[in-house]
Chain A
Amino acid sequence: MSNPDPKPDPEPQKTFNTNDIDEEGDEGEDENENDLKDDEDQDDDVFGEPNRPKPKTREAQYRLDKLKMDSLLQRMQSGPVSVRVHDVIIKGNTKTKDYIIEAETEELKSVGSMQELLKASQLVNLRLQALEVFDSVKITLDSGPPELPGTANVIIEVVETASPLSGQIGAYTKAEARSSTVEGSLKYKNLLGHGDLWDGSLAYGYDHSAELSTGVYLPRLKGLVTPVTARAYLMSQDWLKFSSYKERSLGLSLGLFSSTYHDVAYNLAWRTLTDPSQMSSRSVRRQLGHNLLSSLKYTFKFDRRNSSMRPTRGYAFVSTTQVGGIAPDSRSLRFLRQEFDLRFAVPLGFYGAALNFGISGGVVFPWGNGFLNKPSSLPERFFLGGNISPVCALGGPTALWGFKTRGMGPTEPKRQVNDENADPSGVDFLGGDLAVTALADLSFDIPFRWFREKGIHAHVFACAGNVAKLTENEYRNFSVQKFVESQRSSVGVGLVVPTSLFRMELNYCYILKKFDHDRAKTGVWLTFTGAS
């Protein structure tokens, strides 16, 4: 409802400076001209009519505009100021297609008041900047055509990026990766004018992986609701030291659907397992060779923690379901993999203390003819251990404090040779089809100001976990009691140093329970974990 303002506004108009939302007042155009149109009997209007004589001095104009703005703001504070958007005018895009920008401005068409318009404009501004193809985005609110009272035009001025090529280095923990990676990438923005982002990247992971990939991100492929990503990659992982095999994958991954909570991705890859050392155990030897991986992965992620680096309040839940064998060829790798992760962070109210506890688990099984007798695919199994913090690693059972990479679980003797240089431990870690981990972590501030300012804090932790084999009819010998009794556990205390790239922990871990072949040690550990 419009509220005609009977009082004159002697001050000039004032611009809205909220994230580059400007009001054009230089030419005397009015923001709320519809109010003026409704109030035809009033000679004293908030925003000057076109026939009103212009103030003679600049200072007077300024005062007039300011009066008008104050009046408008007053009205907005008292209640909704009715307005609707007549037209969205896009300027400045020479390369970027109009539909890319228009698709991000849908909210503007449904606003009914000035307040809603301002909020929607802010949102649109953020979205356009998030496309990463503009150097700046400026949204101006203007009055609509005189014959249509109560309307406004929204003018979006974009400045396309002058340097489409950019580079960056960072540490990440991707949803599909199993550990954090340090990644360097080059990006080329808006090559085709569809808001497309092309990138080539080289990543090195803490799990001895290296990846060379190139991808494209399309924010608004015509007809599709969500952005589409496509990535071609060549990845290699060296597990010779732990499981006597190397993994190399050449593949294509497609992000089919992505929203706040849901993510669906398809992966097609040619994967090869080799053993150049020729020292692998029998189980690993049987799996060496080529496989076609065609899988669909669905991730549900609900993270209400206040921070992923140092959660002190909230909860999170992640569930990942992966189905392999989505191909007409029955010779592709067929498996079902399910993992989940549940976390809680409870603030304790003193020294910034918080209790984090969580449980995560996963299971993998082949499917198809004779699946009960078949082993699960080696790279799809669960391996526990590694130099990452279980507090930050959200997404299935991965790490335990005090245990080295792939340092626990079923083992098998490696090949025996008469060589003094051969590995004396002589076992391959085979991973498991079922894995469960649990953790409890109490973090608190150190009572020195310098540490608090830097975010450095301490923590006391405990964790437990186990992996077991279920395939090849081993599920018949499985019992929950035996599984619980054979779990490994550790406790410890440490210092946490959060940085912009990763979270570093310097811990002293004490191994409470381990088995003969487990690679775990009581002592000082340094872990690095990227943000998840």
Chain B
Amino acid sequence: MEQVVAEEELTLVTRKPYFDLPTACPLCLPVFIYLKLAHFPFRLDFNSIFPDSDQIPYVESGAYVAHNNENGGVIECLKQDGIVDLDSEFQSVPDWISTKAMISSWLADAIMYELWVGSDGRSACKIYYSDLPWPIGKVLFLKQVYIVKQRLGITKDNAKQREDEIYKRAKIAYGALSTRLGEQNFLFDDRPSSLDAAFLGHALVTLHALPETSVLRSKLLEHDNIVRCAEKLQMELIESGSSSSGPQFRSVPSSSAPRKGASNWSSKPRSKPKREKTEEEKIFKRRAKYFLAAQLVAVLLFLSVMGGNDSAGLELDDDVMLMLMRALLLIETISLLPTDLGPHY
């Protein structure tokens, strides 16, 4: 399997990007993050016409395919097939199983509830049905709402009770995970694992995809360290793009404001062009100031030289004119020089 994967690039097929996320589906985003944390090169591809498939996300490389509904999921398949394994050292950690159970049950139920039942469903429609014609999308949405209610055991009689229970469990889970995370970047030994991918994937979808009125979102926002970690991850791993050479992970101060704009996760990094643009603008402004100042100086110089003579009959010597012109050119050239090279002169 490793040989097969090495020969052909791995492709991760997920649901489409939305809400500034490479994929807004809470099942797909953890896989994306997992591969990013492992610095494993992969391509990102999308399937936006099969929202009710339990096979998505899946990875493929040549004839090798690992579906979401097989052998515990894509991440488990990647571990079992020896392709990517971030958890080899954590299996014996006492809290590993309980943390995993909490994330894969309580938080998974919470996000599922909030997307399909708790909120008005608009987020779910955008994530799953925006590329399907309206009649099909509408029917599939209603079908999925019914399935989710069945899965979560929600009936007309116990709807409020179940909702309270789900939110309560989510709150407990957030508290426990926030405590475990502390000031670290990752949950266990400050090293990335599949649980970090699952948890941070959940956090990013909750923060970005759910509406501001979402109860679950408000509960997550109470834990600053989780929010900070998620935002940091979004900047570092996600906005660097899913290029074949994965970017190096490093600690960078997070930005509190979520970034907006169209997502194009397949190729171009987003943060670097923005920084260069800002510096370019500064340089341009500085040069413009120097140029204007040089122009003013040249004009004043010219006028002062001209003004000191009799305007009626005096003609400037050609050599003098030439010197003035050269002086003007020199001043303007100096003003247009890159200022960051200034100290080296």
Residues of A within 8 A of B (CB): 270, 274-275, 278, 282, 285-286, 288-292, 327, 329, 331-332, 413-416
* B108 at interface, CB cutoff 8 A: no
Give the residue of B50, B60, B64, B133 whose beta carbon is less than 8 angstroms from that of A327: B133
Q: Would you call B63 and A331 a contact (CB within 8 A)?
A: no
Within 8 Å CB of A270, what residues of B?
A: 135-136
Within 8 Å CB of B131, what residues of A?
A: 331
Within 8 Å CB of B58, what residues of A?
A: 285
Give the residue of A288, A329, A414 whose beta carbon is less than 8 angstroms from that of B133: A329
Interface positions of B from 187 to 230, Cβ below 8 Å from A = none
Q: Would you call B134 and A329 a contact (CB within 8 A)?
A: yes
Chain B positions 36 through 66: 1 when the CB is less than 8 Å from some CB of chain A, otherwise 0: 0000000000010111010100101011110
14 residue pairs of the A-B complex, CB under 8 angstroms, read A270-B136, A275-B55, A278-B65, A278-B67, A278-B70, A282-B60, A285-B65, A288-B55, A290-B51, A290-B136, A290-B140, A292-B133, A327-B133, A416-B63
Q: Would you call A289 and B133 a contact (CB within 8 A)?
A: no
Within 8 Å CB of A292, what residues of B?
A: 132-133, 135-136
Q: Would you call A278 and B134 a contact (CB within 8 A)?
A: no
CB distance from B222 to the nearest CB of A (A): 39
Chain B positions 140 through 162: 1 when the CB is less than 8 Å from some CB of chain A, otherwise 0: 10000000000000000000000
Chain B positions 119 through 145: 1 when the CB is less than 8 Å from some CB of chain A, otherwise 0: 000000000000111111000100000
Within 8 Å CB of B47, what residues of A?
A: 286, 288-289
Q: Would you call B55 and A331 a contact (CB within 8 A)?
A: no
Extra inter-chain contacts (13) besides given A291-B49, A415-B65, CB under 8 Å: A274-B53, A278-B65, A282-B60, A289-B49, A289-B53, A290-B140, A292-B136, A327-B133, A331-B131, A331-B133, A413-B63, A414-B63, A416-B62
Q: Would you call B60 and A332 a contact (CB within 8 A)?
A: no
Within 8 Å CB of A327, what residues of B?
A: 133
Interface centre among B4, B62, B67, B132 (most CB of A within 10 A): B132
B interface, size bucket: 20 to 34
Chain B positions 62 through 80: 1 when the CB is less than 8 Å from some CB of chain A, otherwise 0: 1111010010000000000
CB distance from B125 to the nearest CB of A (A): 13
Give the residue of B50, B67, B132 whose beta carbon is less than 8 angstroms from that of A331: B132
* 6 closest residue pairs by CB, A with B: A289-B49, A289-B50, A416-B63, A292-B133, A329-B133, A415-B65
Counting residue pairs across A and B whose Cβ atoms lie within 8 Å, the total is 49
Within 8 Å CB of B13, what residues of A?
A: 285
B65 and chain A: residue at smallest CB distance: A415
Q: Would you call A290 and B49 a contact (CB within 8 A)?
A: yes
A329 and chain B: residue at smallest CB distance: B133
Bound-complex Cα distance A88 to B100 (A): 86
Within 8 Å CB of A329, what residues of B?
A: 133-134
Bound-complex Cα distance A332 to B136 (A): 10
Give the residue of B53, B64, B133, B140 whose beta carbon is less than 8 angstroms from that of A332: B133
Within 8 Å CB of B140, what residues of A?
A: 290
Within 8 Å CB of B53, what residues of A?
A: 274, 288-289
Within 8 Å CB of B133, what residues of A?
A: 292, 327, 329, 331-332
Bound-complex Cα distance A329 to B136 (A): 12
Within 8 Å CB of B50, what residues of A?
A: 288-290
CB distance from A487 to the nearest CB of B (A): 29
A414 and chain B: residue at smallest CB distance: B63
Within 8 Å CB of A290, what residues of B?
A: 49-51, 132, 136, 140
B55 and chain A: residue at smallest CB distance: A278
Bound-complex Cα distance A270 to B52 (A): 15
CB distance from B57 to the nearest CB of A (A): 12
Within 8 Å CB of B135, what residues of A?
A: 270, 292
Give the residue of A275, A289, A415 whose beta carbon is less than 8 angstroms from that of B63: A415
A278 and chain B: residue at smallest CB distance: B67
CB distance from A283 to the nearest CB of B (A): 12
Give the residue of A288, A291, A416 whose beta carbon is less than 8 angstroms from that of B64: A416
Bound-complex Cα distance A270 to B49 (A): 12
A286 and chain B: residue at smallest CB distance: B47
Bound-complex Cα distance A415 to B55 (A): 14
CB distance from A458 to the nearest CB of B (A): 46
Within 8 Å CB of B64, what residues of A?
A: 415-416
A291 and chain B: residue at smallest CB distance: B49
Within 8 Å CB of B132, what residues of A?
A: 290, 292, 331
Bound-complex Cα distance A416 to B63 (A): 5
Bound-complex Cα distance A460 to B136 (A): 50
CB distance from A441 to the nearest CB of B (A): 41
Within 8 Å CB of A286, what residues of B?
A: 47
Bound-complex Cα distance A357 to B284 (A): 77
Bound-complex Cα distance A416 to B4 (A): 10
